[in-house]
Structure 1
């Protein structure tokens, strides 16, 4: 049984290995500028063939466990190397020897348990280094960064293994600008370990416990401008005097993120203020206060007024015992000189009137994402509250009435900017009252349907983005900036409403076009954002945008945000690249051209018809159709003529004075049909011709040069051809008054030419002795 299981698992393992071997990684893709992207390609080693042309190489999220000394040898001009989360556990000492130009190196989140100074010794140009997230316990056995004299940003540490910071760790980092140390499991800290770094702008510490915080502070107070403490529990923090030099600390900002505090530890933190006389900004993000607001600050004058702190920011503060919280009266005196306060997303529903009155220096107050309503806002903005306040942000609270909000804020005589966006106002009254100095009003995302005169006339900046507006017709004489994106406007607002407008953003509306005249009507407009609308790429719109270079200077989001929505042929194309057809843009000219071409074509056809006798053929075709609808032969009782005579008018003398006399006065006499004499007056000539032929036994054609030149009696008698030549008999008798060459007969008289070739015809003799024989033969032909 055991061998069988062993064989089974062996087969499974081999299949897995085969599958892994068969799935070849995707090739490395490099751009022309030497930027190579190899992220998430399943590479198991550094790709081969890398040359000096490579300047940026990203191999993050692969399966590269080993970097050899020759893997990057050809990358002598490499400036950026990204190896984040690639499973690296081994790097040879000489692996980076050829990377003297490298400025950015990311080795974070790999499996490096030991760090070697030989890796970084050749990297004299390095400015950014990230070693965070590797499972090392210390930063190498010797000083890792002593040769990195140009290093500006350094990130080190991990969440579990990193346990000790030593004096040698940061030696040589004279130009360091930003340092992040992740050491929640820190167990030891050698004094003066961070003191060697001078002029550090930003230090970020991830410390789970506060045990080493005071030691770190003692080292960095003389060099750090911005200190950020993350993921720290300060519940039991106790301040003890710091042994620091007399040099004044340059620290200007102190931030606590994801920290836990109590009323008592907050009091202890306040004792830091005498050591940071330049501190002007304090920030608490995602912090938890395990207390009820029972603060008892020190009685010293410095602590009583927070020193020089002017900005206090609190975001997402969680107070588990909020229902027991005090009225903050113990900290009123601390905030007298504070100018900027932000309390965001912290369930604030009331600022007590007495507290507001103590904030005498407050110029900026942000209470976004809280629970403020008009009733409590009235208590907060009571008489003499916030006397210096210039900017008030009440975004995303529970305000419902614009009219009440404006009336409540009348007590704020110096208020110039008000943000009440992301509230649910819906209705806007016709008139409202506002503080007299209002210059900025933000009403975006407030579900407003219509803009009315409730908006103050003193505004210089108005934001009504992301509402339900389909028009804007309010006169604002001082307005300089209008933000009205994400509404339902179909055209640009009337420029006469904003005589001094400088900036307008009207993206994502329903605008289909705008013209040169519309833009020119805004005399001072310098910035316009109108992209992501439903543009109809008409000829006028395209010619305006393509032929006016100044458009690109005004339209700051040109050209990528301007796409054609119609016509369908251009849908999705950039307006800049769209090219309409000639027919769309020059319809009048195209129609005139087509009409002119048709006229020329008609004239050409008419000329060709005249030259090739097309009209004659058409008339003959019509006569043939007329003849076809009649019986092929009239009944015998209707035949009343012996012969129908077809002749030219110029040969009428011979026909009427000789032929008629000889045939009608003979014995027996012949009855002839002549068009002058026997056609029915008022009847269509074609019908007369066809009827006469049908009522005659024979048809006599008197042919001559006159007959041919007159186009066969001006076409009138030629219609008889069809009836005559459709019958296979001898009904046609040809009489030639004079000799006619067959080639002289026009090609269109194809039937006549055929008869002259296949049938016998009579020739009129000039010799009088032979004329009697002619008449006898003609009589015989008619009788046959």
Structure 2
């Protein structure tokens, strides 16, 4: 494909995406930064780089394209991204890069092409990258660098070509010889056999050269070829002999690695002009005898040495001091990865008392015995000691008696099961102590007696179960305490006393079943970070006091992953008092419900994650986030959220990032999103948004807003997986206002034009037709009346479920029993199963001669009762049929009924019955009168001829016609068999 054709294809793709102007990208995510616009395009199953970057803006400065299926980079692929400064293309499947692939990237500073399958590169592939300072070609299949490939990279400082198959060092040297700003060249893991070259020389600026893990058998370079190199790594060239350095100028070397070569260091020092203090003797095959020989030679050359690196040798000290033959060591001594089995209280350093740091990692040490009574050498200059990665089982009392000035002690990653009560005695200047990843079970109140200056204490991943009283009482300067990964079940009442300066406390991965109140009492004004993840904290009710009430400076709190059931309930008072909290983690907690005032005190919160924290479908209560006005990032992934409303999210005025992945919302209201004025990032991946009209506004919003980035909008699919959400058809959802106005106007004009004409021409014909139709209608109406006289029931009983006791105990026996022959229609008994409730009600009203409404305050609050009385009143007023009987079970004020139009109208026209209460003079006689009045009313004819007359007044008599009206609700319950 020619460059013109490639450019045209990119333009076509760009044009396609420009049809949609919303702030979203098909295969990339933008991460905001004050230094520029950063785009990550990671794990995309796309093999066309133009498709990945086609919709990115010209202002992009940082671009990462990793873990994709991209195979090649055509010409002008980044033509639209001329502002790029950092470009990562690592971990892809790149095999081909066009010679004009990076054309116009004049501002690019960093280019990473590592971990691909490049075997060839064009000599002009980097021709436009004049400002490039960093280039990585690590882990490819390059065998040869074409001449002049780096000719344009005049500002290049770092060049990494490690892990390839390069074998021609001469070509490499020639290609970099003109790079006057190059400082670092990495050629490790290649196939170089020598450093032979033609007339090319390395640039004077080059000071760091790595040629480790090649196949060097000689250097083969001119004596002055390496005269400007300061750091030179030749390690893991197993065939490189000592003679290779004969005559080579190494006088400027500050650090030389010869690990795993065939170089004999004593012989090497005799033939080389290198300063012996700058040689790293790690992995040079030294044993005790060779070390002694080396030390004697070093002492003849220099009086003192700053650092002596002796790691990865075969050194195993005995009682005899070998290091006494070495020059004075005034810096660090590295004896890691040797065969040391005993320290013998550092007696091998009796002539090296000025050592400042000592490293004995990865040895065979099994214990650190006491040194107070054994007369060990006094190391008053020693400040840093590391015994990591050994097999130390016990540390006895006064084990460090001979090194009283140490500030950093690393005993982690051993198997220490016993730590003597006075093991750390005398270490009054100790600042950092690492005891993590051991087998400690107990800490005592005198363990840290002498460590008053300790600031960092790491006890992670041991087997401590209880923190006893006074354990930390002397650690008043401690700022960081890590107790994570233990088996702590509780703290003794004063177990944390003394930690008056503690800022960070890590208790994650323990067995705490509650948040200790001592935490709040001890750390009132100091603690900023508290990690309680992975414990067994659980609440079964919300009535607790806040354990954080006095922790006014706490800024970071982690409560996620409580085992095995999660928090279950998040008490509404749990987070009270955390006015300074900035980050809160509640991940994976199976919380059933969040109370509206749970987060009320978190007014300074910036970050909140609730992902996977709740059970099933969650209904976030309005106001739950009302006080989080400083929140900038909210993660509510996989919570079963069904709806986003302004009432829930409306107060998040500073929110910039909202992650809603894996929820069950079928629609999102745009008005809720518009109440987030600072929103920049919205992630709704794996949300089953319906491609229907109710989401048409959301679709339009995602397409037109230029402020909120909707992550991977163009990859969001409708639930049927057949179309994309961003372009599903919404034409049917849009009302054509012009068309509607046209039809309305045309109709009005037609009526005003033709109505007078019809009146003049067809008046008598229309009038005659009207009377004919009226006669026919009256005949049909008469037949309907005759059919209704043969009704199925005598009365339909309308009542609220709370009054069912009166209907069953009083009404039913007195109207269907006791010699009465009435047939009543009841909800639970006579409604047709499987039929809509409304249809059953209509059928019941029109299949009964009467409708008896059992009036009470509960009746007034029922929506279904409202429907029933409206249907009956329709028959009363519109059909002129006496079908409605009102029975009041209790007194109801006029104020309660005055607002119900239908009830008011009925009561003004109809009399009604009042059930006699217990306050009547003679309740038995009054009830008999009540039933007689009700039976008489049920026997009256349906046709209304005149208003009913008043009845005899008593406590059971019919009441006056002006009383109540009612309010509708959904509380009536129909029991359908």
Q: TM-score, normalised by structure 2?
A: 0.50
Identify the match of residue 306 of structure 2 among 295, 306, 309: 309
Deviation at residue 122 of structure 1 after TM alignment: 0.7
Which residue of 2 is the match for residue 471 of structure 1?
467
CA distance in 1, matches of 2:152, 2:48: 31
Identify the match of residue 47 of structure 1 among 27, 45, 51: 51
Map 1:658-673; keep pairs closer than 5 Å: none
Verify: 1:559 aligned to 2:583, yes or no: yes
Map 1:457-496; keep pairs closer than 5 Å: 457-459=449-451, 460-461=453-454, 462-467=457-462, 468-473=464-469, 474-481=471-478, 482-489=481-488, 494=494
Identify the match of residue 211 of structure 2 among 195, 205, 214: 205
Verify: 1:447 aligned to 2:439, yes or no: yes
Cα distance per residue 1:479-515 (max 9 Å; x no partner):
4223322224456774872154233322313456659
Which residue of 2 is the match for residue 646 of structure 1?
none
CA distance in 1, matches of 2:920, 2:379: 115
Which residue of 2 is the match for residue 346 of structure 1?
338
Verify: 1:361 aligned to 2:354, yes or no: yes
Deviation at residue 83 of structure 1 after TM alignment: 3.6
CA distance in 2, matches of 1:382, 1:427: 23
User: Contact between 1:64 and 1:88, CA under 8 Å: does it hold in 2?
Assistant: yes
Higher gyration radius (CA): 1
Map 1:359-758; keep pairs closer than 5 Å: 359-374=352-367, 383-384=376-377, 386=379, 388-402=381-395, 405-426=396-417, 434-435=425-426, 437=428, 439-440=430-431, 441-459=433-451, 460-461=453-454, 462-467=457-462, 468-473=464-469, 474-481=471-478, 482-489=481-488, 494=494, 497-498=497-498, 500-508=500-508, 509-511=510-512, 518-519=519-520, 521-522=522-523, 525=526, 527-534=528-535, 550-552=553-555, 559=583, 561-563=585-587, 565=589, 567-569=591-593, 714-715=921-922, 718=925, 721=928, 743-746=950-953, 749=956
Cα distance per residue 1:6-51 (max 9 Å; x no partner):
xxxxxxxxxxxxxxxxxxxxx9611135514154625166537355
CA distance in 2, matches of 1:362, 1:566: 55
User: Contact between 2:342 and 2:367, CA under 8 Å: does it hold in 1?
Assistant: no
Structure 1 residues 238 and 134: CA distance shift in structure 2, 3 A:
same
RCO greater where, 1 or 2, for CA within 8 Å and sep 6 or more?
Answer: 2
CA distance in 2, matches of 1:458, 1:712: 86
CA distance in 2, matches of 1:340, 1:168: 39
CA distance in 1, matches of 2:290, 2:224: 29
Structure 1 residues 443 and 302: CA distance shift in structure 2, 3 A:
closer
Which residue of 2 is the match for residue 294 of structure 1?
290
The structure with the largest helix share of the pair is 1
Deviation at residue 747 of structure 1 after TM alignment: 8.5
User: Contact between 1:79 and 1:102, CA under 8 Å: does it hold in 2?
Assistant: yes
Which residue of 2 is the match for residue 29 of structure 1?
27
Deviation at residue 307 of structure 1 after TM alignment: 5.5
User: Contact between 1:424 and 1:447, CA under 8 Å: does it hold in 2?
Assistant: yes
CA distance in 1, matches of 2:40, 2:228: 42
CA distance in 1, matches of 2:289, 2:917: 126
Verify: 1:99 aligned to 2:95, yes or no: no
Structure 1 residues 267 and 184: CA distance shift in structure 2, 3 A:
farther
User: Contact between 2:213 and 2:235, CA under 8 Å: does it hold in 1?
Assistant: yes
Deviation at residue 179 of structure 1 after TM alignment: 1.8
Cα distance per residue 1:170-193 (max 9 Å; x no partner):
133233343201343334522785
User: Contact between 2:210 and 2:232, CA under 8 Å: does it hold in 1?
Assistant: yes
User: Contact between 2:441 and 2:465, CA under 8 Å: does it hold in 1?
Assistant: yes
Cα distance per residue 1:596-626 (max 9 Å; x no partner):
xxxxxxxxxxxxxxxxxx99x9899789999
Structure 1 residues 382 and 622: CA distance shift in structure 2, 3 A:
same
User: Contact between 2:224 and 2:248, CA under 8 Å: does it hold in 1?
Assistant: yes
Verify: 1:233 aligned to 2:218, yes or no: no
* Structure 1 unmatched ranges of 5 or more: 1-26, 585-613, 633-708, 730-740, 754-784
Which residue of 2 is the match for residue 588 of structure 1?
none
Count of residue pairs brought into register by the alignment: 591
Map 1:60-209; keep pairs closer than 5 Å: 60=66, 64=70, 66-84=72-90, 86=92, 88-110=94-116, 112-142=118-148, 144-156=149-161, 159-166=164-171, 167-182=173-188, 183-187=190-194, 189-190=196-197, 193=200, 195-198=202-205, 200=207, 202-206=208-212, 208-209=214-215
Cα distance per residue 1:639-659 (max 9 Å; x no partner):
xxxxxxxxxxxxxxxxxxxxx
Deviation at residue 717 of structure 1 after TM alignment: 6.0
Which residue of 2 is the match for residue 690 of structure 1?
none
User: Contact between 1:45 and 1:63, CA under 8 Å: does it hold in 2?
Assistant: no
TM-align CA RMSD: 5.4
CA distance in 2, matches of 1:450, 1:139: 62
CA distance in 2, matches of 1:383, 1:710: 103
Verify: 1:268 aligned to 2:267, yes or no: yes
CA distance in 1, matches of 2:112, 2:220: 31
CA distance in 1, matches of 2:547, 2:505: 20
Cα distance per residue 1:712-731 (max 9 Å; x no partner):
982256157279969999xx
Secondary structure, counterpart of 1:203 in structure 2: strand
CA distance in 1, matches of 2:441, 2:49: 61
User: Contact between 1:126 and 1:150, CA under 8 Å: does it hold in 2?
Assistant: yes
Deviation at residue 372 of structure 1 after TM alignment: 1.3
Secondary structure, counterpart of 2:234 in structure 1: strand
